[in-house]
Copies of this chain bind each other. A is one copy, B any other.
Amino acid sequence: MAPPFAKAAILGIGLIGSSLARLFRKEGLAGRIVTFDSNPLHRQRALELGIVDDAPGDLAEAVRDADLVVVAVPIGAYAALAEAMGPHLAPGAIVTDVGSVKGTAIRDLAPHIPEGVHLVPGHPIAGTEFSGPEAGFAELFEGRWCILTPPEGTDEAAVAAISALWAKAGSMIEIMDPATHDRVLAITSHLPHLIAYTIVGTATDLEGAMQQNVVKFSASGFRDFTRIAASDPVMWRDIFLNNQEAVLEVIQRFTEDLTALQRAIRWGEGDKLLDLFSRTRAIRRSIIDAKQA
């Protein structure tokens, strides 16, 4: 059976891009897999790892004749990338992406997608704290959700083809509008990462002896935040700058709630603390029931 795509171009061969390359290879999803990455070391490493067939230093060459183009670079690089590749996209090709913010992803990609090429924005809810071409693995997406946010009027066959791809990855697919996606992710992903970065940052500002103690006794809770706060810095900078509005809104809610707890601690209001701490257990149970724990 012929693979669903003759040539897949993966733009950006980091954690997600290299996981997809491995998946495409393993599942026979593309006749040829090529990558373009602005970092020549990443291109070279991808070739050495044998996860792509070719890794040209030229973006136009990478996307030429590709019937599938996956944008897997930090969101801040979308606009320039899209402008550069637009004229070289093949008629009928599908362009998808894996970015964590969908509103600006569409804003930055769509204007450069020629008539007859289909844009199906996507976001696999999967990842680790590791980065680069060596960090990927084909099973990264298994049992995880992938959210697709096709703009109104998107070709249904293109949406079906991208859905089929993620189904092969072992993912469950959800179709959502970009604005809802960005608000959901602001609370489930962007705020937790911002908080983790903040708390680990607070600790790095402590004086020497105290900081050593923090590392030594990190198993008491802090450790879990450092894992999250070890995620790719450029990727996360771009997420916060591109989901500004939704992130600022959840920070505001979070700060109000933290201030209320701070006040309860200051005034010794144990009943308020106990009430909240009891309610939060229920959410954990829902997540375990939803098999996302």
Contact = CB atoms under 8 A, between A and B. Distances in A.
Interface in A177-212: 180, 183-185, 187-206, 210
Interface in A239-280: 240-241, 244, 247-248, 250-251, 253-255, 257-259, 261-262, 265-266, 268, 270, 273-274, 276-280
Nearest to A201: B276
B278 A233 contact: yes
Given A203-B283, A284-B129, A293 B223 contact: yes
Q: How many copies does the complex hold?
A: 2
Contacts of A38: none
A137 interface: no
Nearest to A191: B199
Contacts of A279: 201, 204
A228 interface: yes
Contacts of A145: 216-217, 219
B268 A236 contact: no
A106 B214 CA distance: 23
Chain A interface residue count: which class?
35 or more
A125 interface: yes
Contacts of A266: 244, 248
A204 B254 CA distance: 12
Interface string A111-154: 00000000000000111010000000000000011010000000
11 contacts: A188-B203, A190-B221, A191-B202, A195-B195, A196-B221, A202-B254, A204-B280, A205-B253, A226-B283, A248-B262, A255-B255
Interface of A: 76, 100, 125-127, 129, 144-145, 147, 174, 180, 183-185, 187-206, 210, 213-231, 233-234, 236-238, 240-241, 244, 247-248, 250-251, 253-255, 257-259, 261-262, 265-266, 268, 270, 273-274, 276-284, 286-287, 290, 292-293
